[in-house]
């Protein structure tokens, strides 16, 4: 396909989004559709929800991302893949690492084989700041040491290495996007965070504010502004928009150094919020107190993880638009439209 190499005018592409029935994947699908691209989804619905694909009106190929028959149905005619599908629960990965390497690394490699068989070279991959482990300095740049603390982080880093090798050997054009803490929901209120169990902070703070279990506050003695752990929260709509730009510009990332650290970009806001700051933002937006229980630190939880977002700005021209309050407001809207205690479980779901 011939493309106009002007960043404002791209021919529409056909993009396969793996994990497109999940939280982040469904937002990436929506952003690609809004930018005029065609989208198909592979998802095994292990943690995703059919209704999130249905709400985007895209074809869902239900199956494992490493399954060749499923790939042979979904890949024909595709110009690019956004590979979001994966297993992402850190404690589960510590207890039972096998499935993490099978899905996050091995099935990902099978996806690349399928792509090569169908002549698809462009791939944008959902990586994570968990590849860095405990940072030596903040903010964290892409060339910081990668010393993951969990099998989850190790499996994501392993796949970055696979991408690098396939890029060199077979001309695959990969880009790994290392997400920091993704939060918020789509402005329309029909897509949002819907995990079971929910381990992410913002939905759990919102639930606590609405009569759910009190919030477990792990660690109050970190060397941060208020003693609670600091993370870099990025709005899921900002994050999704970065994928659209990445897919459209993948062929043009000439200046990007494609040595290992060169194919990764951090996606964060470059500013952190502590747990108590998130709690206060929820209390402000909802007008409700957030009951909480003090708990000891969790082993392996760094005091602070904040992205240096300079490289994504330089390479993709990417800048975030939404602040923490916007994340809270949109997550609350999703929760209200889909049921307070069980976000997403609406009558239509």
> Binding residues for ligand NAD, per CB under 6 A?
18-19, 21-25, 42-48, 64-65, 84-88, 103, 107, 126, 128, 179, 181-182, 195
Radius of gyration of the chain (CA): 19
Q: How far apart are CA 173 and CA 80, in angstroms?
A: 9
Q: What is the distance in angstroms between the CA of the first residue and the CA of the last residue of the chain?
A: 38
**For ligand NAD, which is the closer residue by CB, 36 or 91?**
91
**For ligand NAD, which is the closer residue by CB, 182 or 205?**
182
CB of 286 to ligand NAD, least distance (A): 22
**For ligand NAD, which is the closer residue by CB, 24 or 172?**
24
Q: How far apart are CA 235 and CA 192, in angstroms?
A: 11
Dig out the tokens for 240 from the structure. 């999704």
Peptide bond just before 197 cis, omega within 30 deg: yes
CB of 22 to ligand NAD, least distance (A): 2
CB of 9 to ligand NAD, least distance (A): 30
Q: How far apart are CA 300 and CA 309, in angstroms?
A: 24
Sorted by sequence, the CB contacts under 8 Å of residue 213 that are 6+ apart come out as: 207
**For ligand NAD, which is the closer residue by CB, 150 or 181?**
181
Could you tell me if 61 and 73 are in contact, meaning their C-beta atoms sit under 8 angstroms apart?
Answer: yes
Give the closest residue to 208 by CA, choosing from 219, 196, 217. 217
Could you tell me if 278 and 206 are in contact, meaning their C-beta atoms sit under 8 angstroms apart?
Answer: no
CB of 140 to ligand NAD, least distance (A): 13
Could you tell me if 343 and 270 are in contact, meaning their C-beta atoms sit under 8 angstroms apart?
Answer: no
Q: How far apart are CA 37 and CA 119, in angstroms?
A: 19
Active site residues: 152
Sorted by sequence, the CB contacts under 8 Å of residue 183 that are 6+ apart come out as: 193, 200, 201, 202, 233, 234, 235, 236, 327, 331
CB of 267 to ligand NAD, least distance (A): 9
**For ligand NAD, which is the closer residue by CB, 46 or 319?**
46
Q: How far apart are CA 338 and CA 212, in angstroms?
A: 15
Q: How far apart are CA 266 and CA 288, in angstroms?
A: 34
Q: How far apart are CA 187 and CA 269, in angstroms?
A: 19
Could you tell me if 165 and 334 are in contact, meaning their C-beta atoms sit under 8 angstroms apart?
Answer: no
**Pairing between β-strand 292-295 and β-strand 215-218 as defined by DSSP bridges:** parallel
CB of 242 to ligand NAD, least distance (A): 13
**For ligand NAD, which is the closer residue by CB, 127 or 224?**
127
Give the closest residue to 17 by CA, choosing from 68, 86, 69. 86
CB of 124 to ligand NAD, least distance (A): 12
């Amino acid at each position: 396909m011939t493309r106009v190499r002007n960043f404002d005018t791209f021919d529409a592409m056909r993009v396969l989004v793996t994990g497109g029935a999940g939280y982040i994947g469904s937002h990436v699908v929506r952003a690609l559709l809004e930018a005029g691209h065609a989208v198909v989804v592979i998802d095994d619905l292990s943690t995703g929800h059919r209704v999130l694909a249905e709400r985007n009106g895209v074809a869902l190929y239900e199956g494992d991302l490493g399954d060749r028959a499923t790939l042979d149905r979904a890949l024909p005619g595709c110009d690019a893949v956004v590979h979001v599908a994966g297993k992402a629960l850190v404690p589960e990965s510590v207890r039972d690492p096998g499935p993490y390497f099978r899905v996050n690394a091995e099935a990902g490699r099978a996806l690349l084989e399928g792509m090569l068989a169908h002549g698809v070279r462009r791939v944008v991959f959902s990586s994570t700041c968990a590849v860095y482990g405990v940072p030596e300095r903040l903010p964290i740049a892409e060339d910081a040491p990668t010393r993951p603390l969990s099998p989850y982080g190790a499996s994501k880093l392993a796949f970055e290495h696979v991408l690098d090798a396939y890029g060199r050997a077979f001309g695959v054009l990969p880009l790994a996007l290392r997400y920091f803490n993704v939060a918020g929901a789509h402005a329309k209120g029909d897509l949002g965070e819907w995990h079971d169990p929910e381990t992410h902070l913002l939905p759990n703070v919102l639930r606590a504010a609405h009569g759910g279990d009190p919030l477990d506050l792990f660690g109050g003695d970190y060397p941060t502004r208020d003693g609670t752990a600091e993370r870099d929260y990025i709005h899921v709509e900002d994050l999704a928009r970065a994928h659209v730009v990445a897919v459209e510009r993948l062929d043009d990332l000439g200046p990007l150094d494609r040595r290992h650290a060169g194919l990764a970009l951090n996606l964060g806001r470059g500013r952190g919020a502590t747990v108590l700051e998130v709690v206060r933002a929820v209390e402000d937006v909802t007008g409700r107190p957030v009951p909480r229980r003090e708990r000891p630190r969790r082993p392996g939880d760094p005091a602070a993880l904040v992205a240096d977002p300079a490289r994504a700005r330089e390479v993709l021209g990417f800048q975030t638009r939404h602040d923490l309050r916007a994340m809270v407001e949109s997550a609350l809207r999703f929760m209200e439209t889909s049921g307070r205690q069980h976000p997403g479980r609406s009558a239509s779901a």
